[in-house]
Amino acid sequence: MDDKLIIDLFWNRNEDAITETQEKYGKYCFSIAFNILKSDSDAEECVNDTYMNAWNSIPPTRPNVLSLFLGKITRNLSLNKYYHNRAVKRTTVIEETLDEVADFISSDGNFDTISEELVLKDVINRFLASLNKQNRIVFVRRYWYLSSVKEIANSCGLSETNVKVKLTRLRKSFKTFIEKEGIHI
């Protein structure tokens, strides 16, 4: 079913919206959640919570891209679940990934204003647009989907060493890019 029709089902409070969303985006949302949580049951819980959050958010929100809207909800719910589950102990992939970008995020993770967040989003989008396809995939897989270096290497047909080198170069390029944009974090 077309995304516009699914959004219309949500908008009209038709329960078929959940079924259609699950059919079209269930595997996508599950892969995001599982990548973060590494647990089938926790991932399924987050995916179900994604459908509930989408139901509660549409209306009043009418997402432009349903897959991104659902992906962002799933990712945020999964990260919250991750931190809740592991309040005492830390898992290497996520902590390692967050440590890699620690220089680029504010100390408390909050922005002073919505406009600052929008400017940063615009800069990130322009940075991603400047990359070739493979580098963009590597960057997004690591820092959005929180994939391990091994998972990225396997999916892109690269060695783990090659992925690590690409990530190091991409972080340096990103830092230079945001500094040229006048953003100092």
Tell whether 155 and 101 lie within a shared domain: yes
Which among 65, 88, 111 is the end of a domain? 88
Q: Is 166 contained in some domain?
A: yes
Cα(97)–Cα(100) distance, integer angstroms: 5
- What's the total number of domains in the chain? 2
Shared domain check, 167 and 150 = yes
Residues 176 and 115 in one domain: yes
Q: Are 46 and 78 contacting, i.e. CB atoms less than 8 angstroms apart?
A: yes
- Tell me the backbone φ, ψ of residue 72, rounded to 5 degrees: -65, -45
- Do 84 and 129 fall within a single domain? no
The one-letter amino acid at 120: L
Same domain, 114 and 70: no
- pLDDT reading at 114 higher than 60: no
Range of the domain at 138: 93-180
Please say which residue of 41, 66, 88 terminates a domain: 88
Q: Report residue 125 as tokens.
A: 């989008």
88, 103, 138 - which closes a domain: 88
Structural domain contains residue 185: no
For the chain, the straight-line distance linking the first and the last C-alpha, in angstroms and rounded, comes to: 42
Average pLDDT rounded to a whole number, residues 6-33: 96
Confidence of residue 184 (pLDDT cuts 50, 70, 90): low
Average the pLDDT over 161-175 and give the result: 93
pLDDT tens digits along 60-95: 999 999 999 999 999 999 999 988 887 655 555 666
Using an 8 Å Cβ cutoff, are 143 and 103 in contact?
A: no
CA 87 to chain centre: 21
Whether residues 131 and 58 share a domain: the answer is: no
For residue 185, give the amino acid letter: I
State the CATH number of the domain containing residue 8.
Answer: 1.10.1740.10
Structure-block tokens of residue 110:
């909050």
CA distance 20 to 54: 12
Q: What is the pTM of this model?
A: 0.66
User: Does residue 136 belong to any structural domain of this protein?
Assistant: yes
